[in-house]
Chain A
């Protein structure tokens, strides 16, 4: 199995993602410059966090037009796996690979802190090694993480169990006070209908070593690796 980490001008979590794949997942991984378009040798690509194109216009809006994104569209359509973290989630929404949008946090602040998220479904290649209802402690670091969508989209996400992670308190209760940014229905991460594309605001790649305060993020990468191992 082979992973790729896409690098846009302004990406800044690309090395973290690369580090986690090479050191913790123990699999080959390449950086993919946003002007490259050949993804044929990869089984999964990660769109990392950061400030692609300086967040000009809207977060993720300009990255969507980078040459690599046409290939990512086809890559996703072919059933291979795409993981968008933070700015990567924003890019996937702007590109239409995931529904909804991420707007300014409810309280305007850039929030950088560990939060708790609850695993809502195991029916995804990114969570199948986890426990349903498990509470993961993972950092967020964003100013535009407030997930919005219309009523029918929300209903669809709920019915199809595509809400993968929701902000919760330490005990796993979904409460308004545990919602850091105002996201609709406490949504922290969603997948597409085919379940091979996941976008999430928390940074699991920053939570893979106890030294960094939490290693809960490892399970997400471990799930993806297990899915790939089973598929190969």
Chain B
């Protein structure tokens, strides 16, 4: 079974109030030296093993671009595991 991993994160410069709140909580726990926390999304997609690596990459890339991320505010990265 082939597996795709898609990481979606906010573009730099887009405000991430959730990340800020998490950073604040982590600092309250006593962790220091944190300059920034950004929250993102992670997807695991199981793929039909009939697909070859480049087909898999192409279709997951399209999924990530058209559905899983909003290109106005987010960027994504795809990893394929065979």
Interface residues of A (CB under 8 A from B): 57-58, 61, 65, 93-94, 99-101, 103-108, 146, 148-150, 182
Contact = CB atoms under 8 A, between A and B. Distances in A.
Nearest to B39: A104
Chain A interface, >50% SS class: loop
Most buried by A among B10, B18, B70: B70
Interface residues of B, number: 12
Contacts of B10: 103
Interface string B49-82: 0000000000000000001101011000000000
Contacts of B17: 104-108
Contacts of A57: 67-68
Nearest to A108: B17
Contacts, number: 36
Contact of B18 (A58, A104, A148): A104
B14 A61 contact: no
B73 A101 contact: yes
Contacts of B16: 104
Contacts of B21: 108
Contacts of A103: 10, 14-15, 73
A174 to B, nearest CB: 19
Given A57-B68, A94-B70, A101-B70, A106 B18 contact: no
Contacts of A108: 17-18, 21
Given A103-B10, A104-B18, A150-B72, 6 more contacts: A57-B68, A61-B70, A103-B14, A103-B73, A106-B17, A148-B72
13 contacts: A61-B67, A61-B70, A101-B72, A103-B73, A104-B16, A104-B18, A105-B17, A106-B17, A107-B17, A108-B17, A148-B14, A148-B15, A182-B15
A100 B72 CA distance: 7
A185 to B, nearest CB: 14
B42 to A, nearest CB: 13
A57 B72 CA distance: 15
A93 B72 CA distance: 10
